[in-house]
Chain A
Amino acid sequence: MIKHAKASLVAIFLTMSLGAGNIFASDTIKIGIAGPHTGNNAAFGEQLWHGSEKAAADINKAGGINGKKIELVKGDDACEPKQAVNVANRLVEKDNVVAVIGHFCSSSTIPASEIYNEAGVLMITPASTNPQVTDRKLRTILRTCGRDDQQGAIAADFLMDDLKLSKVAVLHDKDTYGKGLADAFKARLKERNPKFKEVLYEGLTRGEKDFRALVTKIKSVGAEAVYFGGLQSEAGPLVRQMRELGIDAPFISGDGIVSSDFVTAAGGANATQGVYMTFSAEARNISAGKKVVEEFRTAMKYEPEGYTLYSYATMEAIAAALKNNKKHDGKTLATWLENNPVDTVVGTLAWDKKGDLKKSNYVIYRWDKQGKYAELDKKGMTQK
C-alpha cells in the first residue's frame, strides 16, 4: 500500500516535471537488454540483442503479455564492470524495467547483479557462466547457461579421455570469466590425477594483440595441448600466432569464442581450423526451435549462432513468468521460475533454488576450415 502511494507520488512529480502523457502511457512492459553492444565483444552483444529482440517481437505479435506489449531498453556495458554498474542503476532507476536479460561477461554480470537484487528486479543472464553469478545466492538472479565448473570439467575430461594428452599449457585473460574457467579446467585435471601439473599457467592482457613471446614460451616448454580461458578477441590472435610458429598442438577453449568473430580475430579460418570448444548443445538443432531458426535465416538474414537462441529462450522464460504472476517483482518471478519449467526454443528449461539450470548440456565442438563450428563426433576421432 505504502509502495503504491509512493509510486503515485513519484508519478505526480514526474508528470509535473516531464509534462503529462509520459506516465500514463505505461501500457508496455519494459525489459532491459544489457551486454556488450559496443566494444571488443560487440559480436556477443549482437547475439544477445537479436535473440531477445526477435523473441519480444514474436511475443508481441502473439498478443503480448496479458495484452501489454514488451518494450526493450538497451544497456551497453562494453564488458566493463564499472560501466555495467552504471547501466544497471540506469535500467532500475530511470527506465524502471521489470526484468533484465544480461549481462554477458561474468565480470560485468556479478557487480550488476547486486544492484538488480537490491532493487528486486529479475535478472537472467543467457551467457555468464562463472560460478559466482549464482553462488552468492542472490534471490532474483538466474541463468540459462551452464557453469564454468561444469564446462571446465568437460574440457578436462576430453583432454584426458579423447585426446589422451597430459602436457597442457593453461592460459587465461586475467578476467573473472577467463581465469575462473582456466582454474576450473585445472581443478578437474587435479581431481582426476592428483599428481597432475600443467607445464605452463599464465595470464595474458585483454586488448593486446601480440602474444608471440607467450607463444614462443609454449613451444619452449613443449606443451602438447593448450587450454585458453578467455574471449575471442584474444583467442584469435593467440591461436594464429601459435600456428605461425609451427605449434600444431590442439587448442581448446570455452564458450568465450562461440562467435564467427573468433575467425575474424584470427585473420581467417586457416588458423582456427581444428580448434576445440566447449559450449551448450547446439540449439539450432533442437526441434522446438526449427521455425525460429528458419525465420532468423530468411527474414532477418542473421545466423543465430552462439547465444542467440539462448537469449530468445530467456525472453520466453521471462514472458512466461510475467504472464503467470500478477506481481512483477523479482522475488515472485524468480520463485515462480524455480518451481515451473518453461518450454522454450532450446527445449524445456528448469531451474534449481540457486538459479542454475537443473541440467547443463556442455559438449565439445570443433571449428572447421570454413570457419564454422559443429559438434564433434568423437567416434570418428583418430588419435596418435
Chain B
Amino acid sequence: MNAFDLYIIGQQLINGLVLGATYGLIAIGYSMVYGIIGMINFAHGEIYMVSAYVTALVIALIAYFGGLPVGAAIMIALLFTMLITAILGWLIERVAYRPLKNSFRLAPLISAIGVSLILQNFIQLAQGARNQAMPTLLEGVLRIGGEEQFMQISYHQLLILVAALVSMLSLNTLIGKTKFGRSCRATQQDPVMAEILGINTQKVISLVFVIGAVFAAIAGTFVTMNYGSFDFYIGFVTGIKAFTAAVLGGIGSLPGAMLGGLLVGIAESFFSGFVNTDYKDVFAFGILVLILIIKPSGLLGHPEVEKV
C-alpha cells in the first residue's frame, strides 16, 4: 500500500475537516466575544467541557426511562445541553465580566481564567476525576472505495460536519439579516454611539456570551458522541486549539473562526499523517506565527482602526 494513495489523502482530509469543524464551532465563541467587547473569554473551553457532561447526563436519563428513538434522544440532549450552557454563558458574563467592565483591561481576563479553574475543579470534585464513557448512539459508517482500500466517514463525524455547516449558516443570517444582528454590529463598531442611539448594549453583550456558549455546546454534544469518552480536562487542550483557530482566521470575524478551525484541523491531520505526529502541534502553531507575521489581523480579520 502506498502511503500517498488517494484514499489515504481523502481519509486524512476527512479527519482534518471533522477535527477542524470542532475547533471552528468553539472558535466562534472566542471570536464573537472578542468582536463585541475586545476581550478573550478564557472560560470558553470549559463550557465545551461542561456541555459534554450535560449531554452524557441527559442521554443516561433518556436511556434509563427509555422509549425514545435515537434521533429524538440526540435532539433532546442537544437542546437541553444548549439551554444549560446558555445559562452558564450568561452567568459567566454576569459574574466575571460585567462587574469589571470599567476596571483595567486585564481584570476580566484574569477573572475569566478564574472561572475556568472553578469550572474545571468543580466538575472534577462533583463528577470525579475519572474518564466518563458515552454510549455509541449512531452505529455505522459511509465507505467509499473497495474492500481493502477505502476512505470512510462515520455517521457521528458526518453529524459534526452538518452541525457546523448549519450553525455557521444560521449564525451568518442572524448577524447579517436580523435586528439583533444589526445591534451586534453597531455595538462592535462603536459601543458608546450605539448606546446613545438606543441600543441596549448590555443586553447585546449578554446575548453574545450566550450564543458563544450555545455553539460550544453543539461541539461538546457531537464530539463527545464521536469519541465515546470525556473527562474534566478536555476543555483545556481543545480550548487552546480553538483559540488558535480564532486568531488564525482573524479574531472578531465569524467566517474567519470557522476557516481558521478548518485550517488548523487539516494542517494537524496532514502533518501528522504524512510527516510526523510528534511535531504536529509545532507545525500548526508555526503556521499561526507565519500568518500573523504576514497578516497581523488574521486571515479574514480587519486591521484595527485607531478610534479618534
Identify the A interface with B (CB < 8 A): 37-40, 42-43, 46, 174, 202-205, 207-210, 212-214, 216-217, 219-222, 232-233, 236-237, 240, 244-246, 261, 263-268, 270-271
Contacts and interface: CB of A to CB of B under 8 A. Distances in A.
B229 A216 contact: no
A234 to B, nearest CB: 11
Given A202-B278, A266-B228, A210 B19 contact: yes
Nearest to A245: B152
B181 interface: no
Contacts of A37: 129
A38 B124 contact: yes
Contact of A212 (B1, B3, B19, B234): B19
A210 B18 CA distance: 10
Q: Which of B5, B12, B237, B272 has the most CB of A within 10 A?
A: B272
Most buried by B among A38, A209, A210, A237: A210
Given A209-B227, A210-B227, A217-B273, A268 B133 contact: yes
Interface of B: 1-3, 5, 8, 11-12, 15-16, 18-19, 124, 128-136, 141, 150, 152, 154, 227-231, 233-234, 236-237, 268-270, 272-274, 276-278, 280-281
A208 B1 contact: no
A103 B171 CA distance: 49
A216 B278 contact: no
Nearest to B7: A220
Contacts of B231: 40, 233
A209 B229 contact: yes
B233 A39 contact: yes
A174 B278 CA distance: 8
A40 B233 contact: yes
B284 to A, nearest CB: 11
Nearest to A261: B131
Contact of B272 (A43, A214, A236, A265): A214
Contacts of B280: 205, 213
A319 B268 CA distance: 51
Given A205-B281, A268-B136, A213 B12 contact: yes
Given A210-B227, A268-B136, A216 B12 contact: yes
Most buried by B among A174, A205, A216, A221: A216
Contact of B276 (A42, A202, A209): A202
23 contacts: A39-B233, A40-B233, A202-B276, A203-B278, A213-B15, A216-B273, A220-B2, A220-B3, A220-B273, A236-B131, A237-B227, A237-B228, A237-B229, A240-B227, A240-B228, A244-B141, A246-B152, A261-B131, A264-B130, A264-B229, A267-B136, A267-B228, A268-B228
B237 A38 contact: no
B1 A209 contact: no
B237 to A, nearest CB: 5
Given A212-B19, A213-B272, A216-B11, A264 B132 contact: yes
List 9 tightest A-B contacts by C-beta distance, closest first: A267-B228, A42-B129, A213-B272, A212-B15, A213-B269, A202-B277, A265-B131, A264-B133, A203-B278
A192 B179 CA distance: 73
A270 B8 CA distance: 25
Contact of A216 (B2, B8, B133): B8
A181 B255 CA distance: 44
B3 to A, nearest CB: 5
Given A204-B277, A207-B233, A42 B136 contact: no
Contacts of A208: 237
